Amino acid sequence: IPLDIVYEDADIVVVNKPQGMVVHPAAGNHSGTLVNALLHHCGESLSGIGGVIRPGIVHRIDKDTSGLLIVAKNDFAHLHLAQQIKEHSFTRAYETVVYGNIKEDSGTINQPIGRNPKDRKKMAVISGGREAITHFSTVCEYKSFTHAKMELETGRTHQIRVHMSYIGHPLVNDFLYGNRVEGKSYYLQCNSITFPHPRNNELITISIKQTI
């Protein structure tokens, strides 16, 4: 399974995950996952905190989301990266296309997210959910769509998709939280991550070219 490795050292590896690849094995997806590819590339050099199914996986991105994902090659790095995510010192920038024109050029959505009580496959903004903070800014507006940049402070499941749907601008072709065009998938790419290196605290920013 080919891997697009953007950065690698003794503690971490940063990969550019393609759209359509599942991060770790689960029901219906036992092979062809990012973890399968990482196990072939790294051998036993992955942290064990995530268990046998999720070795090295500190955070994840959805199957149809592409872009940068950082993987821990040892438990020391895993614990430090997990703490960074908890403290919001690990930031991720995304680009996407949503329906409609967003009224504000930039803003912040600070709404808690939890499991949708009416549909267990979906997440939703609900009272009592976990803190979720998304910053957005407009890159370019079209007649019926907006190309937008997103920056996450937190990393809740489907966070960008839920928050943008909540403010009335779901991702184009989002099959769970908006309208879907048959045969198409939404565009959401993590094209920049910034974090203190777990070994020496040096601030690192890794970016890739957006593909929209």
C-alpha span between 23 and 188 (Å, rounded): 15
Mean of per-residue pLDDT scores for the chain: 87
User: Is 66:190 a contact under the CB 8 Å cutoff?
Assistant: yes
C-alpha span between 97 and 21 (Å, rounded): 20
Has residue 126 got a pLDDT over 80?
yes
Buried b / exposed e across 12-28, counting CB within 10 Å, b at 16+?
bbbbbbebebbbbbeee
C-alpha span between 132 and 155 (Å, rounded): 7
pLDDT at 51: 55
Average the pLDDT over each of 37-46, 124-133, 154-163, 176-185 and give the range with the smallest value: 37-46
Look at 142 and 46; give whichever has higher pLDDT: 142
Phi-psi region of 205 (alpha: psi -120 to 50; beta: other; left: phi over 0): beta
Q: Catalytic residue among 4, 62, 64, 105, which? A: 62
User: pLDDT, tens digit, for every residue of 53-102?
Assistant: 466 777 778 888 999 999 888 889 989 998 888 888 888 999 999 999 99
User: Is 191:212 a contact under the CB 8 Å cutoff?
Assistant: no
Two structure tokens written together for 207: 């970016």
Has residue 34 got a pLDDT over 90?
no
C-alpha span between 94 and 66 (Å, rounded): 9
Candidates 24, 114, 130, 135; CA nearest to 69 is 24
Buried b / exposed e across 107-136, counting CB within 10 Å, b at 16+?
eebebbbbebeeeeebbbbeeebeebbbbb
Beta bridge pairs of residue 141: 146
Unique residue bearing structure tokens 């960008």: 160
Question: pLDDT category, 23, cuts 50, 70, 90?
Answer: confident
C-alpha span between 126 and 79 (Å, rounded): 29
Is 105 annotated as catalytic? no
Reported as type and span, the H/E element at residue 39 is helix 34-42
Beta bridge pairs of residue 133: 110
Look at 212 and 139; give whichever has higher pLDDT: 139
pLDDT at 50: 55
Two structure tokens written together for 127: 């009272």
pLDDT at 132: 95
